[in-house]
Every structure is written in structure tokens, then in C-alpha cells.
Amino acid sequence: AVVSTQSTGGSGMRYDPLPLGIRFCKLVSANTPPSRIVYKSWILILTFFVYMSYHMNKKSLSVVKTTLLGNSTESPGWPPFNTSTHPDGKQLLGYLDTAFLGSYAVAIFFCGQIADHVSLRYFLSTGMIATCITMILMGMANFWNIHSLAYFISMQTRIENVIDL
């Protein structure tokens, strides 16, 4: 990548003004410069997969609800949500849904204001990375043997769930 001679904020550090996706597209196309249709196709494919990932993040709790509840000998559930030892397990899952949707409704306004004033490229990239981290943390509850409702609510009310608009 060609490094620009412009410096950032007087710090003397140089940067490449091209987005990573464009640099990758140029790298893949080897010696021939990519055409406009290649750029547009690349952007369409990336956008599709990024928003597909965001949508899967919103649906993650819906997918695992039956496993958390249990209701069978094969799947005993996950305390505090399993209905065999905690009769109010469905209600606790309702709390998680309410926490997610409530935080989404409140924070979408503020994140919209922030997104209007910053680079969308960085805003969405930060949101995607933060969403991945919290999804990993939510999944690690199994390995770390976490059974705290507060932990799951904190994972559902994270601010980056709003960024996946």
C-alpha cells in the first residue's frame, strides 16, 4: 500500500487513506487494476456478510432458549433458566429479552446521533468487533460455569447491540 505523505494531527505518523477492503481488493487483483464493477461486487458481498452476522447476533438468544430451559433428560438446561430446578426459568428468559429490547430501544437514539458525527466505517467496525467480543463472553459462560442472571443481563444490555442497526 502506498503511504500518504500527509500526517495525522501533527503527530508525524503517516497513514494510508485507502480503506482495508480496497487495499485487499487491489492485492487480490494482482497486477491488473480492479474495475469499478469488482469494487461494487466486493462491497456488496462484504455488506451482505456483515449484516448477516449482525442479524445472527440478534437471534443468538432465540436459538439457545430451548437448550437453556432444558425440559428433557438429554438436555437438563442451564441454571438459573432450566425449568426442572427453577420453575421461573421462562420468566428469567423473558427478562433477558426485555433487557435486550429495552436497551436497544433506548440506545438506538444515542447511537444514531453518534453515527451522524463519526465515520460510519469506524463506527460499524467498532460495533462488529465489540459484538463479537460480547458474544464470545456470553458463550464462555458454559466453559467458565457462570450461572448468574446478572452476567447474562449485562451481556444482553451491552451498548454495541445497538450498533447492529
pLDDT digits (tens, 9 = 90+) for 99-122: 888 888 888 888 888 888 888 778
3-state DSSP assignment of residue 7: strand
* pLDDT at 136 > cutoff 70: yes
* pLDDT at 64 > cutoff 80: no
Determine if residue 81 is left, alpha or beta; phi over 0 gives left, psi from -120 to 50 gives alpha, anything else beta: alpha
Query: Are residues 77 and 88 in contact, defined by beta-carbon separation less than 8 angstroms?
Result: no
Give the pLDDT score at 99: 84
Residue 89: how many other CB atoms lie within 10 Å: 22
Comparing 1-10, 121-130, 142-151, which segment has the lowest mean pLDDT? Answer: 1-10
Query: Are residues 100 and 133 in contact, defined by beta-carbon separation less than 8 angstroms?
Result: no
How far is it, in rounded angstroms, from Cα 157 to Cα 22?
34
Task: Read off the DSSP letter of residue 14.
Answer: B
Helices (H), the chain: 20-28, 36-69, 89-117, 120-144, 149-156
Residue 138: how many other CB atoms lie within 10 Å: 20
Tell whether pTM > 0.85: no
How far is it, in rounded angstroms, from Cα 109 to Cα 105?
8
